[in-house]
Amino acid sequence: MNPSTFSLEAFLHSEKLGHVIAATILLLLGWFLARTLAGIFERSMQHRLTAHQLLVWRRIIYHGVLIIFLMSALREMGFQLSVLLGAAGILSVAIGFASQTSASNFISGLFLIGEGSIAIGDTIRVGQTEGDVMSIDLLSVKLRTGDNLYVRIPNEQLIKSEVTNFTRLPIRRISINLGVAYEENLAHVRETLLKVAAANPLCLDEPAPQVIMLGFGDSAINLQLQAWVRRENNARVRDQLQDAIKQAFDENGIEIPYPHQVAVSKKTPPVTPAATAPAAPEAATLTEEEESDVREKLLK
Amino acid sequence: MSDLQSTPSPWWGHMEFEQGQTRHWSLAGLDLVITRQAREWQVRSQRHPLQREDEHKWSLREGGDMEESPLSFCRYTYRQTHPRFSLMPQLADRSVVVRPLSPLFVPAGQETVFYVSTPVWVTGRVEDTDMPIVDLPVFVPRDTWFGPSTVKGMLGYATKVTGRTSLAQVPVRPFRAVTAVRVRNQGNDNMPIERINIPAPHLPVFAAESGSLWTPTLSITRPANGRQLDVRLESGVWAEAGTVTRLSPARRGSDEHALIRVFDNFFD
């Protein structure tokens, strides 16, 4: 008789086969139960918990049930868990040295989930990347950008760098910078801007919109209109306000000046025609009297 | 086109539509055109760009021509449409923060009643179903934030009120519902009222014989020994409003916890 056939036959008739089958059944049962329980939990709690909380709890339930059944299956196969855990400890040290980056991301992922500073569905900015959070996994966070790109950001990067969450708070402030000509009546400009904000029902009544003066620019007085909106209306209101400001300024004759410069050319002593270069058509030649007028105007 | 109704008849009510019939409501700058077809109801709406909150004119006429193409056009399809249609006023879908035009104070030991009004939405239902096919504000109030900081608080709508203390001074306005707010100050100092947060989604709407719209009375008591206000939503409308008819239910049931949350910041 072939020894291998003999050993297979012995195995088939031994108790070990029964243990392996029982362990397999336990694993399959555990997998099925974990999936079912996690699914039931998700369906029953989806209206009470946020998407992020649902994800975290679903994973805890799924992996918790699976680990319990895995331990039972190993015990059924005759493994001693204390020995296995010891081996796992040694193994984890070895793996830790070998894969520091993954371990760092893993630990960062746990901190991210625990900290709760971002959640699924939030719109965040990390470095130059801005998008909606699709999932927060143990190693990375997946974002969907505005132009529908799928971006994976390692958790370690999120922990180390500055993260801006645009949707954490329900209201946001819009700041629109603009410049008006030095000749304009600032009180009238402020009144016009506040009327524009007041006419938009999506601009919050409180906190009240305000106009602040940022400073004196080269060609304009720089102002900023600040208005508060619901976070979901941010882009729409910004667009509407800028459109309305342009229209209101046109109607009220308020000038948004272009950058301009005054070229001053001093009168030079007469030279021979051959040595004279052709003058630039834009540059005007001013007399001393005209030049002093220009200076006075500029100082005003 | 012919005027079927004009003021002082109410703009709300139950009515029947023939198949193919169209009615056109002009409600203070909001144009609403409803058409019944064999298998669908059609809703067109258009809002005047310069709509004013103090505008109260309205009209109803047959036919549905709009001067411009409608801002919104929706179709609701059914196996077979039925003629019954109702157009009713309903309160806002968020709390309304009313701010008196001038500061109001209730002195210590005094009790007073303020009449404040909030803008109404127009809701249209077919065949007495719960879900409306029309749910639009007659005038779109401004959004506002009600809370101690930009982090903690709640979103609502803003409206300015005179805060009248005499019912005789309260005008009949077809697109605003009056809420009587009874305030008792049992404290030892003046009670300032800078803003009042009216929990509009929890209030049903009633019509008085005078044509004005009413909500149940809110009763607020400031106790002598603490700052926690006792706020109650009374079951009935202010008695001086006279005989009233219930027009529409509250958007949200009187969930006690929700009311408590709303009333946490009742006064600013």
For B217-230, the pLDDT digits (tens) are 988 888 887 667 78
Query: What is the rounded average pLDDT for all residues in chain A?
Result: 82
Residue B212 has pLDDT above 70, yes or no: yes
Pairing of strands B96-100, B154-161: parallel
Tens-digit pLDDT profile for residues B52-70: 877 888 989 888 666 666 6
Question: Does B260 score more than 50 pLDDT?
Answer: no
Could you tell me where the beta strands, DSSP code E, fall in B6-83?
13-16, 22-27, 30-36, 40-47, 58-62, 72-77
Mean pLDDT in residue range A159-182: 91
The phi, psi pair for A106, rounded to 5°, reads: -65, -50
Give the gap in angstroms from C-alpha B95 to the nearest C-alpha of chain A: 14
Mean pLDDT of B207-213: 89
Taking the C-alpha atoms of residue B118 and residue B133, their distance in angstroms, rounded to an integer, is: 22
Instruction: Tell if the CB–CB gap between B145 and A207 is shorter than 8 Å.
Output: yes
Residue B201 pLDDT more than 70?
yes
Instruction: Pick the most confident of A73-87, A238-252, B104-118, B186-200.
Output: A238-252
Strand arrangement, sheet containing B121-126 = B13-16, B84-90, B121-126, B134-137
Whether ipTM exceeds 0.90 = no
User: Cβ A205–B142 below 8 Å, yes or no?
Assistant: yes
* Confidence (pLDDT) at B226: 63
User: Which residue of A lies nearest to B51 if distances are taken between CA atoms?
Assistant: A199
Task: Give B268's pLDDT tier (boundaries 50, 70, 90).
Answer: very low
Residue A124's pLDDT band (cuts 50, 70, 90) = very high
Q: What is the pTM assigned to this prediction?
A: 0.72
More confident residue, A162 or A283: A162
pLDDT score, position B264: 46
Average pLDDT, chain B: 84
Asked if the Cβ–Cβ distance from A204 to B140 is below 8 Å, we say: no
pLDDT at A237: 95
Instruction: Let me know how long chain B is.
Output: 268
Interface contact A230-B150, CB threshold 8 A: no
Give B127 or B126, the one with higher predicted confidence. B126
Mean pLDDT computed over A44-55: 77
Which range among A207-211, A273-277, B7-11, B23-27 shows the weakest confidence by mean pLDDT? A273-277
Burial of B44 (0-12, 13-18, 19+ CB in 10 A): buried
**Cα–Cα distance for residue pair A7/A29, rounded to 1 Å:** 30
Report chain A residues touching chain B, CB-CB < 8 A: 169-171, 198, 201-207, 228-230, 233
CA dihedral for B154, B155, B157, B158, sign (positive or negative): positive
pLDDT of the residue at B128: 65
- Give the pLDDT confidence score for residue A134 in this predicted structure: 92
Contacts of B158 in chain A (CB under 8 A): 204-206
DSSP 8-state class, residue B128: T
**pLDDT at position A197:** 94
Burial B74-98 (b: 16+ CB within 10 A, else e): eeeeeeebeeebbbbbbbbebbbbb
Q: Summarize the confidence of residues B131-152 as an average pLDDT.
A: 90
pLDDT at A171: 94
Name the least confident of A84-88, B73-77, B81-85. A84-88
CB B135: neighbour CB atoms within 10 A?
14
> Residue B6 — very low, low, confident or very high, per pLDDT cuts 50/70/90?
very low
pLDDT band at A269 (very low <50, low <70, confident <90, very high): low
The whole-angstrom separation of Cα A15 and Cα A9 is 12
| Top-confidence residue, B130 or B261 | B130
The per-residue pLDDT for A279 is: 47
Do residues B36 and B85 lie in contact, with contact meaning Cβ atoms separated by under 8 Å?
A: yes
Q: State the average pLDDT over residues A155-166.
A: 88
Output the pLDDT for position A186.
92
Q: Dihedrals φ, ψ of A296, to 5°?
A: -60, -45
Contacts of A141-149 spanning 24+ positions with Cβ under 8 A: A141/A112
pLDDT given at position A49: 77
Instruction: Return the higher-pLDDT residue of A112 and B68.
Output: A112
Give the rounded percent of residues in chain A with a pLDDT score beyond 90.
Answer: 36
Top-ranked range on mean pLDDT: pick from A139-153, B54-68, B116-130, B165-179: A139-153
Q: What is the pLDDT of residue B162?
A: 73
Of A169, A170, A201, the CB nearest to B142: A201
Q: Which helix (H) or strand (E) holds A96?
A: helix A81-98
List CB contacts of A223: < 8 A, sequence separation 6 or more.
A177, A178, A179, A180, A189, A190, A193, A211, A212, A213, A214
User: Which of B140, B145, B151 comes nearest A204 by C-beta?
Assistant: B145
Of how many residues is chain A composed? 300
Is B150 within 8 Å of A171 when comparing Cβ atoms? Answer: yes
B52 in contact with A, Cβ within 8 Å: no
Q: What is the pLDDT of residue A97?
A: 72
